[in-house]
């Protein structure tokens, strides 16, 4: 059986409940919101752990603030992650079902890693106050960050596998022998993963700039501290933008040549917007609160 016949047999005979383009638009929109919140979570937690390890008055204050806000951001990220997955299942269920069948155990590990990361994040947030003298709770923060990154890697691989139906038979039954253990883990696509994760630096940097701008309006604001936070955010965003250029190019080089992305008008517009954003972010550290 070829790939087209296989997908035809897996198709839901009831079809989908509305025009496909609407689900596709909603899928992209909700995924963009989800991945933005994931960026804020990963970047915010990373900065929180770094600041607590580094120590100092400003660093400790920032770490405590980010640890608290990241618990809320993670809740929002998880909630927003449900919507695009539902749209994927409505339109592309045979693809998603087959991918998760090949990697069944990894799908379960994803759930465990996400839950463990969520709980560890709360332990990190409360750890410095609750644990004994000399304890910082940094281990919980590092564990939470690694757990969430593992969740991202698993979901990334499942998505990549769904995009490659021509390789399913090779992965599931190499040399005609069926592998039913559910431990398959294929289609890594490192550039694609970095393309979605590296913006954590950019978005978190802008988040810190906005924090400085928002809190600066208060009459009791500690302006030297807020200027430091906004300046740190501008630096993180600037270096993150440089890293994102490299990650984006890596991702584009991984795409099949038949896609011909360089000739796509959407890609050209995207490059123009990216150059404008890069120029703005690189100059933002001159006055980060005003630029926020």
What would the pLDDT profile of 192-211 be if each residue is shown by its tens digit? 999 999 999 999 999 999 99
- What is the average pLDDT across 242-271? 88
- What is the average pLDDT across 186-194? 90
Predicted local confidence at residue 132, as pLDDT? 52
- Residue with structure tokens 């899928």? 27
State pLDDT tens for residues 13-72. 777 888 889 999 999 999 999 999 999 999 999 999 999 999 889 999 999 999 999 999
Q: Which has more pLDDT, 150 or 217?
A: 150
CA angle, 23 as apex, 265 and 8 as ends, to 5°? Answer: 95
Mean pLDDT of the chain: 90
Q: Based on C-alpha coordinates, what's the Rg of the chain?
A: 22
Predicted local confidence at residue 131, as pLDDT? 55
Q: Which has more pLDDT, 259 or 28?
A: 28
**Weakest-pLDDT range from 125-139, 235-249, 252-266:** 125-139
- What is the average pLDDT across 147-154? 96
> Residue 257 pLDDT more than 80?
yes
CA–chain centroid gap for 67, Å, is 18
Predicted local confidence at residue 130, as pLDDT? 58
Q: Which has more pLDDT, 221 or 4?
A: 221
Q: Which has more pLDDT, 144 or 9?
A: 144
Does this model's pTM top 0.85? My answer is yes
Predicted local confidence at residue 8, as pLDDT? 77
Residues near 149 by Cβ (< 8 Å), separated by ≥ 6?
A: 42, 197
Residues near 163 by Cβ (< 8 Å), separated by ≥ 6?
A: 95, 187
- d(C-alpha 187, C-alpha 158), whole Å: 8
SS3 191: helix
State pLDDT tens for residues 108-141. 999 999 999 999 999 999 876 655 555 567 899 9
Closest Cα to residue 62, out of 44, 77, 36?
A: 44
What is the phi/psi pair of residue 200, to 5°? -55, -35
> Residue 229 pLDDT more than 90?
yes
- What is the average pLDDT across 79-89? 93
Query: E strand or H helix at 75, and its extent?
Result: helix 57-102
């Amino acid at each position: 059986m070829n790939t087209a016949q296989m997908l035809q047999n897996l198709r839901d005979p009831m079809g989908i409940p509305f025009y496909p383009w609407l689900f596709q638009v909603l899928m992209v929109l909700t995924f963009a919101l989800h991945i933005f919140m994931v960026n804020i979570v990963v970047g915010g937690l990373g900065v929180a752990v770094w600041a607590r390890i580094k120590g100092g008055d400003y660093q400790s204050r920032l770490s405590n603030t980010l640890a608290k806000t990241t618990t809320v951001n993670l809740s929002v990220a998880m909630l927003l992650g449900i919507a695009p997955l539902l749209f994927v299942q409505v339109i592309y269920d045979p693809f998603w079902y087959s991918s998760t069948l090949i990697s069944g155990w990894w799908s379960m590990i994803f759930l465990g890693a996400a839950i463990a990361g969520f709980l560890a994040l709360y332990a990190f947030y409360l750890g410095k106050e609750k644990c004994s003298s000399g304890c910082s709770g940094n281990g919980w923060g590092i564990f939470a960050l690694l757990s969430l990154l593992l969740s991202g890697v698993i979901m990334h691989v499942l998505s990549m596998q769904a995009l490659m139906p021509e390789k399913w038979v090779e992965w599931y039954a190499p040399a005609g022998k069926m592998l039913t253990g559910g431990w398959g883990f294929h289609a890594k696509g490192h550039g694609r993963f970095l393309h979605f994760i590296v913006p954590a630096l950019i978005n978190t940097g802008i988040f810190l700039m906005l924090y400085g701008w928002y809190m600066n309006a208060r009459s009791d604001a500690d302006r030297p501290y807020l200027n430091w936070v906004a300046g740190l955010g501008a630096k993180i965003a600037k270096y993150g933008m440089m890293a994102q250029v490299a990650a984006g190019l890596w991702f584009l080089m991984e795409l099949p040549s038949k896609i011909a992305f360089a000739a796509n008008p959407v890609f050209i517009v995207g490059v123009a917007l990216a150059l404008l954003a890069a120029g703005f972010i690189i100059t933002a550290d001159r006055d980060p609160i005003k630029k926020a």
